[in-house]
Structure 1
Amino acid sequence: MASSTENVKLGVCNVLFDGVDLGFTKGGVEVEVATSTKEITVDQMGETPIGEVIMGRTVSANVPLAETTLDNLVAIMPGSELISDGAYATGTVTFSTAAPVDGDKITLAGVDFTFKTTPVGQNDMAIPATIGAAATALAAKINANAINFTATVVNAVVTIKAKNRGVDGNVTVSKTAVTAANITTTNLTGGVNATKAQVKVSNGVNINLLKLAKTLVLRPKGTSGEDDFTIHKAMCPGALNFAYQFDNERVFSAAFKGYALDSGQLFSLGDVTATA
């Protein structure tokens, strides 16, 4: 493979945990992959190894969060509870009767997500075979986009939720469908501005971090998924590093640790939608 200067890359990353952008960082995000091995020896060869076996591999990411919001605190602090009089806006996109066709489009807060026979744009999606696949594709695009919403899927219904509490999340969801009955939408509503909030933090004893683990994506700034570092199951025990000084930022020290999937997969580097 020929060398190319384009393969030499610099720059910071955005951090998405369970599809939510955790915001600005301070001091750089660092990833460590460690592999432990066991050397095989026999008496006749003394201490010279005749082989070596991998015993395990770990992955961790240190994410110093500069946006010390209550939402971020709850995201990284197991055993915490946010109490607020604010509310998130939610809405839905439902696929029914048949899968989308070329040109079917969903517009969320002015951002278009379009099904295309030949996807070209960042928010274009390939024509799916089923309505369930359509819902999954749309949710993935919304979560990968740098807009202030997250999406989850149940069957062929995509539920969209604003990332932040407040009336700013009450936005329009519309469709442009070749066959009108294939797609129905409801606007995001229910967002209420918070007037007061607090986070209560317990001692965390006996909390199972694996049960709380979610997908952690480190996405280099200015990219759209092709260079992602993805830990498929990640969680952190929670740590704070507050400096109440005029010349130091307060930081949430989020030390994420990865856990293997049932298949043994630990992390991915690159576009997770790539297939053989």
Structure 2
Amino acid sequence: MAGVNAEKIKLGPCEVVFDEGTPEEIIFGTTKGGVVLTYEETSREVTMDQTGTTPLKEIITGRTASVAVPFGEYDKEKLLAVLPGSRLVVDSTDPTKSKVVVNATKVIDLLKFAKKMTLRPLAEGTTTNDYITLPNAAPRANLNYTFDYDNELITNVTFKGFPNANGDLIEFGDPSVV
């Protein structure tokens, strides 16, 4: 197999770090079903009457990036982080009692909840050069809990990437490189 570099073939799970590098950093280290990165481009083919429907060139008109994270920890702090506009209410007489409240009357601007999110592969030999980062990612949760003996409670969160102030959407490699 000439030309094949097996060292560059990657396999295995990852952990997801949201709000990386801050005191509010949250690590989603327990997932079920795999973390899925989706990067897509939209484009427009350029045609002229003289060539009919044959494209003369194609122009990229947009890019999107998202990361689907099915995390398995039922954790109120993590729920609070992935349910934009939610709040934690702690019992005033018993601080061990709390709840996360989601209010449906708010219009939420997801960009205000966007933070740095990094995928860190867990395979042996992984380095920071294997990381993938969305510099500006906002969470959107879809909860569908099945309470039975055959299923874990999985919280499905999709982090949607938005361009940062520099226009950067996604980074492949060491996030410390500037």
Q: TM-score, normalised by structure 1?
A: 0.58
Structure 1 unaligned segments of length 5 or more: list them.
87-193
- Work out whether 1:38 is the aligned partner of 2:39: no
Identity %: 40
- 2:115 corresponding residue in structure 1: 214
- Pairs within 5 Å for 1:1-276: 3-19=4-20, 20-84=26-90, 194-203=95-104, 205-222=106-123, 223-275=126-178
Runs of at least 4 residues of structure 1 off by over 6 A?
none
Mapped to 1, the partners of 2:99 and 2:77 lie a distance apart of 10
How far does residue 202 in structure 1 lie from its aligned partner after superposition? 0.9
- Cα distance in 2, alignment partners of residues 4 and 224 from structure 1: 17
Partner SS for 2:81: helix
Once the 2 structures are TM-superposed, how far is the Cα of residue 229 of structure 1 from its aligned partner?
0.7
Q: Distance in 2 between matches of 1:83 and 1:67?
A: 20
Residue 224 of structure 1: how far off its partner (Å)? 4.7
Cα deviation code 1:22-80 (max 9, x no counterpart): 23011100011010001100001000000111100000111001012101111110121
**Residue aligning to 1:115:** none
**Mapped contact 2:14–2:29 kept (Cα < 8 A):** no
State the distance in 2 between where 1:252 and 1:204 align.
23
**Secondary structure of 1:49's partner?**
coil
- Counterpart of 1:32 in structure 2: which amino acid? T
Q: Is the CA contact (8 Å cut-off) linking 1:77 and 1:239 kept in structure 2?
A: no
Pairwise CA distance, 1:203:
1.3
**Contact conserved, 1:14 with 1:23, CA < 8 A, in 2?**
yes
Deviation at 1:256? Answer: 1.1
Q: CA RMSD in A?
A: 1.9
SS in 1 for 2:78: helix
Give how far 1:204 is off: 5.8
- Give 3-state SS (helix, strand or coil) of 1:28's partner: coil
Q: Is the 1:79–1:204 contact (alpha carbons within 8 Å) kept by the matching residues of 2?
A: no
Offset from partner CA, 1:6-34 (integer Å, 9 cap, x none):
11111100010012212301110001101
Corresponding position of 1:105: none
Q: Secondary structure at the match of 1:73?
A: helix
Residue pair 2:113, 2:139 contacting (<8 A) in 1 also? no
> Per-residue displacement from partner, 1:124-167 (whole Å, max 9, x unpaired)?
xxxxxxxxxxxxxxxxxxxxxxxxxxxxxxxxxxxxxxxxxxxx
Q: Which runs of 5+ in 2 are unaligned?
A: 21-25
Give aligned pairs, total.
Answer: 168
- Cα 1:85–1:21 shift into 2, 3 Å: farther
What secondary structure is seen at the aligned counterpart in 2 of 1:253? Answer: strand
Q: Distance in 1 between matches of 2:112 and 2:174?
A: 25
Query: Which is higher, the Rg of structure 1 or of structure 2?
Result: 1
